[in-house]
Amino acid sequence: MSRMFASVFAIFWKDVLSEIRTKEIVTAVLVFALLVLVIFNFAFDAASGTTARIAPGILWVAFTFAGILGLNRVFAVEKENSSLAGLRLCPVDRMVIFWGKLAGSFTFMLVIAAVITPIFLVLFNLPLFLPRLALIIVLATLGFTSVGTLFSALAMNIRARDIMLPILFLPLVVPVIIGAVETTTCVLAGGPWSDMLTWLEIMIAFDIIYLVVATLMFEFVIEE
């Protein structure tokens, strides 16, 4: 068991190191997500007093799009130098590779969220200290990345992979997006916990189901 964790951590750490050195995913996606926030400001007039109603949607569209960009890279980097073949040759269970990659993309997404969310709150003049929003972001990111890591590996092997990832990814994460937007609306409006409980439960259920399903399916996706 501890050997399995060590292997997962090794794959995770490899991704983190290469990210620290190249800064390929986090920096690029961060700038992109910021731009989405700015563009939305033109699309919906955020100054017109409707901020509280449209802000959650803006945040989650920015996150979702940023997530797609980032997830696209997760396996593209493995493909570029045929390092996926190396990963496949590792004397570990396929499950371990999945969890390692998942841990990597989950961490990158959280780093991006940690930078984007405060900027978003400042730009839209919203309260800055929202611990409940952090919980929502963790739950939603886990859902996004468990589905996304599986589909990133799936799309990597087919033609038109850049466009196929969003086409595969978006319909599946609909429940997470709805849940995240609903709970964020509640948090920004200062609503009670009880209002968001059902949605939190749905998001937790989604996370668990897709962690299990994606772990089981991953093996079939990367076999040669």
Partner 1 sequence: MKNGRGKLRDDLLVGMGFALMLAALYMALVYAPTEKYAGAVQRIFYFHVPLAWVGFLAFLVVFIGSILYLWKRSVIWDSIAWASAEVGVVFTSLVLITGSIWAKAAWGIWWTWDARLTATLVLWFVYVAYLMVRGYAREESQGARLSAVLGIVGFINVPIVALAINLWRTQHPTALIFEGGLAPTMLVALLVCVVAFTVLYILLVRQATSLKILESDIENMKNLRLE
**Chain contacts with partner 1 (rule: CB under 8 A):** 147, 150, 154, 157-160, 164, 167-168, 170-172, 174-175, 178-179, 182, 198-199, 202, 205-206, 209, 213-214, 217, 220-221, 223
Contacts of 224 (CB under 8 A, 6+ apart): 88
Choose between 8 and 155: whose C-beta lies nearer to partner 1.
155
Q: Least distance (Å) from partner 1 to the CB of residue 79?
A: 13
Q: Give the Cα separation of 57 and 111 in Å (integer).
A: 20
- The crossing angle, in degrees rounded to 10, of helices 131-156 and 161-172 is 130
Is 41 or 157 the residue whose CB approaches partner 1 more closely?
Answer: 157
**Closer residue to partner 1, CB minimum distance, 16 or 217:** 217
Task: Tell me the closest approach of the beta carbon of residue 15 to partner 1, in angstroms.
Answer: 23
Q: Residue 45 gets which letter from DSSP?
A: T
**Closer residue to partner 1, CB minimum distance, 12 or 63:** 63
Cβ pair 117, 133 in contact under 8 A: yes
Torsion-angle region of residue 212: left (phi > 0), alpha (psi -120 to 50) or beta? alpha
Smallest gap from Cβ 46 to partner 1, in A, equals 23
Nearer to partner 1, 38 or 174 (CB): 174
Least distance in Å: CB of 8 to partner 1?
Answer: 22
Position 29: which residue type? V
Query: Please, what is the minimum distance in Å from the beta carbon of residue 125 to partner 1?
Result: 27
Task: Tell me the Cα Rg of the chain.
Answer: 18
Cβ pair 66, 119 in contact under 8 A: no
